[in-house]
Every structure is written in C-alpha cells, then in structure tokens.
A = this chain, B = another copy of it.
Amino acid sequence: METKLISVQKEVSLPAFPKGFHLITNLVIKELPELKHVNVGTLHVYIKHTSASLSINEDADPSVRSDFEKFFQKLVPEREPYYTHTSEGPDDMPAHLKASLLGSSVTIPVNDGRLLMGTWQGIYLGEHRNHGGNRKIILTLLGSSS
C-alpha cells in the first residue's frame, strides 16, 4: 500500500489575552479542517514571539491555570536587581525567561483525523506580558494521508 505525504501549514492570529495561561485547543482545531485527511502524523504548533509560550496541561479545571500564573510569577520575579534588559518594562525580561522555561512550541500526535491527546490535556498559551496583544502561531501538519 502506498503512503502519500500530507503537509499543511497555516499562520493564525490569536485574540489578545490578558497575562496568564489560556486554553487554545479549540482555536487551533477549528483552523485545521485538513486534520481529517491525516492518517498518521504530527501537528506542530509554534509561537512567533519571545515573551509568550506554548505548553500542554490540564484543560478541565481553571484553577490549574490560575495556579500556573502564580507559580511562574514567583519563580521568575520582576525587577531582579541583576536584570540589565529592563528598557521594555518590568514584565519583559521575566516574559523572555518564562518563554524558554515553558517552550515555544508543542508537537501533538495525530491519528485517524484527530489530535491524539490525553482526556484531560489541552494546549496552553502562556501570555507573559501585561499587554501582549495578538500573538501569531504557525500550525504545521505532517503525516500520511488517509
């Protein structure tokens, strides 16, 4: 049986979110009607910014996302006396650090036309600036066509 390559890529502009962690799974899926044509593959989600992050975590209880914000705010404090990159405001250098601690992309397996995530998993956008505005993400679907 021959296996044909499917490759799809889209740039998506997200709505502006307040500082904190936000579920974007449904926003991603609705941009990808082509998912249904993939037999086996991966979806790569990449954020084109250095002060916001992408990760995978619990999608059911919003208290997880608010505890994330409190934890990371404490782990990466603002106004550390040793910061030298301070010209863009006190939230900027911590935002860069959080972006690298959490990551700039996630890759999710795709099977038989759908994302193969765990029951309680979702895609988190970490908005680490006070006024981050619209963030652009790139979706890349690679795999075999069904």
Contacts and interface: CB of A to CB of B under 8 A. Distances in A.
Q: How many identical subunits does the complex contain?
A: 3
Interface string A96-113: 110111111111110100
A41 B7 contact: yes
Interface string A43-60: 010111110000111100
Contacts of A67: 82-85, 93, 96-97
A42 B7 CA distance: 10
A40 B108 contact: no
A136 interface: yes
A32 interface: no
Interface of A: 3-9, 11, 39-42, 44, 46-50, 55-58, 61, 63-64, 66-68, 70-71, 74-76, 80, 82-85, 93, 96-97, 99-109, 111, 116-121, 124, 136, 138, 140, 142-144
Given A68-B96, A101-B101, 7 more contacts: A5-B144, A9-B111, A41-B140, A55-B104, A61-B85, A64-B96, A118-B136
